[in-house]
């Protein structure tokens, strides 16, 4: 059975002799670098718990302290209109200085856990975004990441005490951080060593809160990748994505073992072959796809010819040639098209996202028009498409360019 993350509640001793609770999420490996996760103004609610679990899947031991415990322990609110007045009431009554001391106590408790190995950082949203900034100034956190922090502009004098690495994600249209406040932050912190500042155009507050009114998936994904890059750079963990992806491809195209292929992926992965919209979302659907429509349907002479690979903080981008003879019906590539016996070579790009040491999703791109031309079901005459020539030119850049441009000759000697 594949190991999974584990969660539990722990008790943390405060600096003044009291105690408060925190939600702990531990990665499947049972150990990893540490992260203190700082809440929004809604307490350690479902979003924060899911975030802790997601970060644990990335390989972190995550401890999310109940920072409202001095006002009302264990509160869990939503961002709906019924809970918003109470959330703002708690926010207005929150003692920031005591909150930072609680974060320092949480960091100390995190470092003392047997599961925590390596460095430790702080990551927070909204109220937690400001607390992450202040933790970078007042605690021994190795790295701090703040999402749309509220009120950072009022504490910029503390930047002289910055320790470790600081990353701030700023929403351009955030009403809680209007343009003058944003400008003060950018001017005070911009250019400082070990500080990364990112402004997300057109985004409002809480653009990374899944299910929220202002959630924006592209911006949330970009912010997450930048956060992971900073965390991995400073505290790890480090994974061999190339090895993991190569093993996945070996199981897909070499041994053609569906169970082994699925074992390289997270519990609920997804695959999207962009041109044909084939693949699957979730373990059950994707396993069905692999079993009946992918692994067994690829022609016997299928070859992957690697051309380049870029390894990032959370993903791999592979550029390759996909080569095969169309001797079987290929459900995922040419659904419903009977075998033509034609040989095909196409440039293909695979963008493979990881969560920890497992594949999370795949986005696969190719030129479907080139495939259709090569198997003889699309006449390229008069169309701006090409067949195997696209693969040939990828390997030999000296081959003529602009052969599909009738007007190319018109610009000669101009």
Give the active site residues.
Answer: 174, 205
Q: Enter the tokens of residue 390.
A: 């696209």
Residue 16 CB neighbours (<10 A): 10
Sign of CA dihedral 76, 78, 79, 84: negative
| Cβ-Cβ contacts under 8 Å for 170 (sequence gap 6 or more) | 148, 177, 182, 185, 197, 198, 199, 200
What gap in Å lies between CA 54 and CA 95, rounded to an integer?
29
Q: At what angle do helices 96-112 and 127-138 cross, to 10 degrees?
A: 70
Write the CA distances from 129 to 3, 77, 168, 406, integer angstroms: 32, 18, 8, 55
Q: Enter the tokens of residue 265.
A: 């992926």
| Cβ-Cβ contacts under 8 Å for 378 (sequence gap 6 or more) | 369, 372, 385
Say if CB 348 and CB 322 are below 8 A apart: yes
Write the CA distances from 176 to 24, 86, 324, 399, integer angstroms: 30, 18, 55, 55
Q: Enter the tokens of residue 262.
A: 């699925």
């Amino acid at each position: 059975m594949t190991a999974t993350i584990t969660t539990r509640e722990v008790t943390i001793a405060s600096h003044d002799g009291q105690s408060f609770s925190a939600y702990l999420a531990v990665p499947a490996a049972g150990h990893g670098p540490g992260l203190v996760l700082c809440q929004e103004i809604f307490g350690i609610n479902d979003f924060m718990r899911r975030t802790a679990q997601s970060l644990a899947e990335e390989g972190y031991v995550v401890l999310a302290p109940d920072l409202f415990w001095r006002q009302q322990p264990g509160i869990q609110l939503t961002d709906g209109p019924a809970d918003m007045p109470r959330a703002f009431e708690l926010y207005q009554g929150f003692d920031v200085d005591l909150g930072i001391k609680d974060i320092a106590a949480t960091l100390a408790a995190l470092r003392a856990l047997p599961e925590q190995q390596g460095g430790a950082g702080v990551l927070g949203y909204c109220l937690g975004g400001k607390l992450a900034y202040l933790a970078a100034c007042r605690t021994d956190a190795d790295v701090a990441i703040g999402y749309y922090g509220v009120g950072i502009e009022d504490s910029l004098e503390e930047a002289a005490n910055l320790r470790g690495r600081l990353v701030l994600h700023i929403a351009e249209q955030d009403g809680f951080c209007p343009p003058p406040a944003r400008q003060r932050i950018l001017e005070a912190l911009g250019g400082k060593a070990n500080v990364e500042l990112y402004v997300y155009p057109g985004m409002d507050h809480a653009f990374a809160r899944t299910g929220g009114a202002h959630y924006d998936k592209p911006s949330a994904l970009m912010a997450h990748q930048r956060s992971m890059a900073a965390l991995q750079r400073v505290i790890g963990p480090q994974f061999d994505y190339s090895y993991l992806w190569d093993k996945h491809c070996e199981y897909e195209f070499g041994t053609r073992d569906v169970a082994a292929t699925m074992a390289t992926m997270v519990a609920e992965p997804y695959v999207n072959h962009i041109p044909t919209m084939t693949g699957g979302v979730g373990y059950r659907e994707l396993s069905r796809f692999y079993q009946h429509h992918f692994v067994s349907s690829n022609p016997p002479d299928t070859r992957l010819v690697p051309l380049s690979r870029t390894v990032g903080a959370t993903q791999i981008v592979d550029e390759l040639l996909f080569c095969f003879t169309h001797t079987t019906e290929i459900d995922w590539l040419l659904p419903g098209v009977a075998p033509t016996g034609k040989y095909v070579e196409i440039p293909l790009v695979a963008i493979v996202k990881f969560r920890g040491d497992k594949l999370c999703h795949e986005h696969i791109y190719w030129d479907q028009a080139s495939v259709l031309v090569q198997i003889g079901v699309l006449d390229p005459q008069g169309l701006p498409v090409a067949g195997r020539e696209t693969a040939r030119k990828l390997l030999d850049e000296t081959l003529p360019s602009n052969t599909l441009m009738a007007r190319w000759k018109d610009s000669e000697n101009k």
